């Protein structure tokens, strides 16, 4: 387990500035607790977007997590519909009716929201921290696209953009909503295409790698026994999530969003490839993420003017799990 003996050292070492764009969400909650606990991360803000539940519910969940775990970052409410004005039924069979495993929530005395909409919060915060902000988006990319539309200059002002999203068919079609589409991308394919096409550095941590990282019984038992309140909370909210995965023969559950959070902190645990990425915005393949391979010659096409972006193609799953178990529990860090 990673330990921190000196709280002052923890404060000095918070060198990674992150805005966490999220739709909590069982796996989102795990990622948020990890980011809040990790010594090198300064959470500048949590911005919410519709997805795992409607925007009211996911925003309430973010405020609940902020209160329960004393997360200092402000919370800004974001988009409740896609750029095309559409939404979809939340996956209650995966995340529960309340978005975080249907545990009983104490909604009394929740903290207030930042008065700005999420995309404006992103714009302002990026401009206040030139070249230092990593945008970590683990839901629909609507807030990021709205920020780009209002202030295109921020594309040159961020440090990095890391998303949990996409299915790049590295080992055959591997979408989780359709054979080729992943949920965050198909939830707002137009926004995703705009985000991948902007002149900022994007890395996609897609299903190709997140499905290699499984939180199994041994890891969950360790969290329950040694993880303190946060560890027990993760185990509690993930019961239904684990039952959903069990239908497909998985003993545990895929660690989607927290895997992307680990990439922000230690990219060396991943291998990536570069190339322009486009997203299908209509038709039977809507939501498909397609990266051009520069090693193959094609006639002129839709990828030619798009910037190179990165896609994770492999991951050291054991070391990712080791980071999550060793560093995302606040009581362990403080011991």
**Orientation of helix 257-265 relative to helix 26-37, angle to 10°:** 20
Residue 54 falls in the annotated catalytic set: no
Non-local (6+) Cβ contacts of 47 within 8 A are: 19, 20, 21, 22, 75, 76, 77, 78, 118, 119, 121, 122, 143
Q: Three-class SS of residue 230? A: helix
Of 89, 79, 99, nearest to 32 (Cα)?
Answer: 99
Catalytic residue among 21, 23, 257, 316: 23
Cα–Cα dist 13/6, whole Å = 11
DSSP code, position 217 = H
DSSP code, position 14 = -
Cα–Cα dist 332/335, whole Å = 5
Angle CA(185)–CA(32)–CA(113) in degrees, nearest 5? Answer: 90
Question: And the tokens for 194?
Answer: 């705009």
Cα–Cα dist 277/185, whole Å = 12
Cα–Cα dist 113/111, whole Å = 7
Catalytic residue among 119, 245, 256, 328: 256
> Buried (b) or exposed (e) across 20-55, using 16+ Cβ within 10 A?
bbbbbbbbbbbbbbbbbbbbebbbbbbbbbbbbbbb
Cα–Cα dist 56/78, whole Å = 10
Cα–Cα dist 98/105, whole Å = 9
CB 28 within 8 A of CB 139: yes
Residue 256 falls in the annotated catalytic set: yes
Phi, psi of 234 (to 5 degrees): -60, -45
Q: Which residue has the tokens 């959903």?
A: 244
Residues assigned a catalytic role: 23, 256
């Amino acid at each position: 387990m990673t330990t921190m003996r000196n709280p002052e050292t923890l404060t000095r070492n918070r060198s990674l500035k992150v805005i966490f764009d999220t739709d909590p969400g069982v796996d989102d909650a795990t990622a948020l607790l990890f980011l809040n606990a990790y010594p090198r991360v300064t959470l500048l803000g949590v911005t919410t977007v519709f997805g795992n539940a409607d925007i009211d519910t996911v925003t309430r969940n973010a405020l609940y997590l902020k209160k329960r775990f004393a997360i200092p970052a402000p919370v800004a409410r974001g988009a409740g519909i896609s750029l095309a004005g559409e939404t979809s039924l939340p996956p209650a069979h995966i995340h529960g009716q309340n978005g975080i495993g249907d545990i009983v929530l104490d909604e009394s005395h929740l903290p207030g929201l930042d008065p700005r909409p999420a995309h404006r919060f992103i714009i302002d915060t990026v401009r206040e921290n030139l070249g230092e902000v990593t945008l970590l988006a683990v839901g629909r990319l609507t807030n990021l696209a709205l920020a780009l539309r209002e202030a295109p200059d921020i594309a040159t002002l961020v440090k990095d953009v890391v998303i949990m999203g996409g299915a790049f068919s590295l080992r055959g079609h591997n979408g989780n909503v359709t054979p080729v589409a992943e949920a965050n991308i198909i939830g707002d394919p137009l926004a995703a295409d705009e985000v991948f096409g902007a002149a900022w550095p994007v890395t996609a941590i897609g299903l190709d790698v997140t499905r290699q990282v499984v939180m199994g019984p041994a890891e969950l038992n360790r969290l329950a026994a040694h993880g303190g309140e946060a560890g027990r909370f993760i185990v509690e909210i993930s019961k239904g999530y684990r039952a959903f995965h069990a239908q497909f023969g998985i003993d545990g559950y895929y660690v989607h969003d927290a895997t992307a959070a680990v990439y922000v902190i230690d990219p060396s645990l991943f291998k990536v490839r570069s190339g322009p990425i486009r997203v299908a915005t209509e038709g039977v393949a809507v939501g498909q993420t397609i990266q051009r391979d520069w090693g193959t010659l094609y006639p002129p096409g839709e990828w030619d003017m798009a910037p190179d972006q990165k896609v994770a193609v492999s991951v050291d799953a054991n070391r990712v799990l080791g980071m999550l178990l060793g560093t995302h529990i606040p009581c362990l860090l403080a011991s």
